[in-house]
Amino acid sequence: MSVYTLVIHGGAGTILKKDMTDEKENAYRKGLEEALNVGYSLLEKGKSAVEAILAATISLEDNILFNAGKGSVFGKDGKHEMDASIMDGNTLMAGSVAAVKDVRNPVELAYTIMKKSQHVMLNGSGALEFAKLHGLNIENDNYFFSQFRYDQWKEMQGSDEAALDHNVLVKDNSTFTKATEDNKKFGTVGAAAMDMHGNIAAATSTGGMTNKMYGRVGDSPIIGAGTYANNKTCAISCTGHGEPFIRAVTAYDVSCLMEYKGLSLEEAMNIVVHEKLIKIDGEGGMIGVDAKGNTAMIFNSEGMYRAVRTSKGENEISIYK
């Protein structure tokens, strides 16, 4: 029997049961389930891992709860700039977009860059122009607006701080302290899959960090940091504080530990997330599949929105540790 597998995430951070209402938790679970359904049904039909992760990531981008596409966080200038990437482990082709505005589905733009340009990465106005040229959906700023992300940003506006949307810092007598319950919002999204032909792929999409500088680029669009896929080893999508993830070349490091040291996916991810990232204050996590269809979802934060479904019968949606 051919094996296929889909694993997704909706961001990692200070996600605690005590801060969650049943209603909120159900909404997040529903969002993850919808994305799993969309991507997994493609795998069942024999479609490629790339098609499955693209569809699953678009579903999460379209859900206002997650910090990607609709519902992206606000930057320092009150605008939404989004990052996304995708990589095909079979061909080692990749596409990526950084600091783009107004594109409804940044991961679709990353995919289009991979398929229809001679480049890997486009940013800013050039990326937007390329999206228009290829007929992708463009929205005005209001489409991306969500009241809760706006409120998060308002708490930080005027400061030089930037925060993970999961751990938004709030002003407390002019010093910045940990998030209040209402300000803990979660988000960046990603997917990794193996299809029935044995190919693997990964994608990541994000609005980045609240109150980030105009032009700031996180790990999500950087191939090797936020996303990596190689049929020899693994397909990985990361979420967390982008700067340490870039410095640790996180996703590629997992692949290297597997390729050069012979570690399993889970062993490699544990070393990167629980040892290497911790040493440089890299809060967050990652999801991945290996070339045999094994999956892992590892994080060093309080929680990570995550879900997995496999042809071997695994079917799990989880949030907390």
Residues 190, 50 contacting (CB under 8 angstroms): no
Q: Which of residues 39 and 218 has its CB atom nearest to ligand ASP in the complex?
A: 218
Q: Which of residues 33 and 243 has its CB atom nearest to ligand ASP in the complex?
A: 243
Q: Which of residues 105 and 199 has its CB atom nearest to ligand ASP in the complex?
A: 105
Residues 215, 250 contacting (CB under 8 angstroms): no
Give the active site residue among 57, 112, 188, 227: 188
Judged by the rule CB under 6 A, the positions of this chain that interact with ligand ASP are 11, 67, 164-165, 187-188, 206, 208-209, 218-220, 239-242, 284
Q: How far is the CB of 13 from ligand ASP (least distance, A)?
A: 7
Which residues, 6 or more positions from 100, have their beta carbon under 8 angstroms from its beta carbon? 81, 82, 83, 106, 109, 122, 123, 124, 127, 128, 131
Q: Which of residues 165 and 302 has its CB atom nearest to ligand ASP in the complex?
A: 165
Task: Looking at the chain, list the stretches that DSSP marks H as alpha helix, in order from N- to C-terminal side.
Answer: 22-44, 49-61, 106-116, 124-133, 141-144, 147-156, 242-247, 250-261, 265-271, 277-279
Q: How far is the CB of 240 from ligand ASP (least distance, A)?
A: 5
Q: Which of residues 71 and 208 has its CB atom nearest to ligand ASP in the complex?
A: 208
Q: Of 62, 56, 65, nearest to 104 (Cα)?
A: 62
188 is catalytic: yes
User: What phi and psi values does residue 191 have, to the nearest 5 degrees?
Assistant: -150, 150
User: What phi and psi values does residue 153 have, to the nearest 5 degrees?
Assistant: -65, -40
Residues 42, 55 contacting (CB under 8 angstroms): yes
CA 147 → CA 27, 33, 162, 247, distances in Å? 16, 24, 18, 33
Q: Which residues are catalytic?
A: 188
